[in-house]
Amino acid sequence: MVIYGDYHTHTIYSSGKHNKKHATGTILENAMYAKQKGLNEVAITEHGFSHKLYGLQRKNLAKMREEIEEAKRKTGINILLGIEANIISSEGDVDLTEEDIKQLDLIIVGFHSFARAKSIKEFFKFFLPNLLGLKRKKDYERNTLALLKAMDKYPIDIISHPGINMPMYFDKVALHAKKTNTMLELNGKRIAYKPKDIEVIKEICPKLIISSDAHSAKRVGDIKKPINFAIKYSVSNEQIANMGKKIYFKNYKQN
């Protein structure tokens, strides 16, 4: 199995691991490893602005675009500027403005424990139950509705690591993902799909995407975990959006 591109990688602009001697974790290094591993494209998708520990600073978006253009010239592979945004409320709000979206080529959205809630009310209503690991019916319903609303409000391309720290009714999420042309991630570090979720994947057939979620340059293109998952559960290659073919992202103006 060969993927066309790795569309979930981080650099030193958020949580990429930076070795000062070898400068691993820069945009150029991510691109160089992507090329070394035979990929045609790589996306730089830093943690969203509201992430309290590793969030990207808005002022760096323009600088990142400049570095991407330089790295494209040096490596010859296509590089996209994206973000792994945070869902910050039960109403499906994410930490992106309209101006942010205009600057991005693709948008990943997920729930992250260290993000800032939209408000104190949303911290107690949405964040705290997930932080405490509660799995009551109302937690499943609230989380599911938040994701459905997010997919309706924003041009989201990928839901990152579905089910991690955010229990949901996966069948409803998968149906809406298919309706809104949103891909569900097979993450290179963590996959939380349960047996019943795998049945839903095969029955509903939402588009999936394989990505590394690399936090260091050498892990770009490291997709052993999702590949093994796909083989083990006989997931069709046709269902995996980046399996040997280019993806046309919703917000990418240069295709």
Average pLDDT per consecutive 10 residues, the chain (255 residues; last block may be shorter): 92 71 76 96 96 89 96 97 97 97 97 95 97 96 98 98 95 98 96 94 96 95 96 94 94 65
Q: Are 222 and 170 in contact (CB under 8 A)?
A: no
Predicted pLDDT at 253 = 67
Find the length of the chain: 255
Predicted pLDDT at 14 = 85
Instruction: Render pLDDT for 90-139 as a digit per residue (tens, 0 to 9).
Output: 999 999 999 999 999 999 999 999 999 999 999 999 999 999 999 999 99
Residue 126: which of 176, 92, 84, 76 has the closest Cα? 92
For the full predicted model, state whether its pTM sits above 0.85: yes
Per the DSSP assignment, residues forming a β-bridge with 82 are 45, 106
Buried b / exposed e over 110-147, threshold 16 CB at 10 Å, is: bbbeebbbbeeebeeebbebbeeeeeeeebbebbbbbb
For β-strands 208-211 and 78-86, DSSP reports them as unpaired
Predicted pLDDT at 166 = 95
Instruction: Render pLDDT for 20-36 as a digit per residue (tens, 0 to 9).
Output: 544 458 999 999 999 99
Predicted pLDDT at 22 = 47
What CATH number should be reported for the domain whose range is 5-239? 3.20.20.140
Query: Domain boundaries in the chain?
Result: 5-239
